Amino acid sequence: MESLKEKVTIITGGAGGFGRATALLFAKYGAKLVLADLNNTGAEAVAEECKKAGLPSDDILTVEANITKEDDRKKIIEDCISKFGRLDVLINNAGIGRIASLMNTPPDVYDAEMDLNVKAQLYMTQLAVPHLKATKGNIVNLASIASEEVFIEFGVYGISKAAVAMFTKTLALEMAEFGVRVNEAWSCAYKLL
């Protein structure tokens, strides 16, 4: 974990849950953090927790952003590079899951889950990759056990996370020649719903 020291890390969905836990862990090991979230109040609260854990104020930045929007994605990357001058780690954590059977999932719910859980990860990654190539950095995509196991009323969530799993595997092959590592992490938060 010492390898995290001074590593500039963007965490999407950094205001709570897995994003918060990751931020606190990375802060403990001295990473520089960019917490991007639609809930900026929550992101600022997590930033304060990171400071209490010992991370200097200058080593953390919050960005209010909806990563389903192109301008917001660009703002996250631009603000990160403007403040820290580089990017070492992208954690594609932001995501949602709605409870509904496949036969009762309306189009807006399907679109919202796929837009945030899949498309936004792809487009955030496209923006980050030039900077990650320069640092031979890392990408972590948040997938789920729901990508491999069936859970009733989490069908669209499972579909989106299966797409994330395949995106991660494909991206890992594409990035290998540039020294950029790509991995997936699993969240089990759905078990609490």
The residues that are catalytic are: 157
Amino acid identity at 156:
V
Radius of gyration of the chain (CA): 16
Classify strands 32-37 and 181-187 as parallel, antiparallel or unpaired: unpaired
Calpha distance 193→187 (Å, rounded): 13
Contact assessment for residue 78 and residue 51, using Cβ atoms and an 8 Å cutoff: no
User: From the CB of residue 117, how many other CB atoms can be counted at a distance below 10 Å?
Assistant: 25
Calpha distance 37→11 (Å, rounded): 9
- Tell me which residue of 130, 120, 46, 34 sits closest to 76, measured CA to CA: 34
Calpha distance 161→141 (Å, rounded): 10
Contact assessment for residue 161 and residue 117, using Cβ atoms and an 8 Å cutoff: yes
Calpha distance 181→139 (Å, rounded): 6
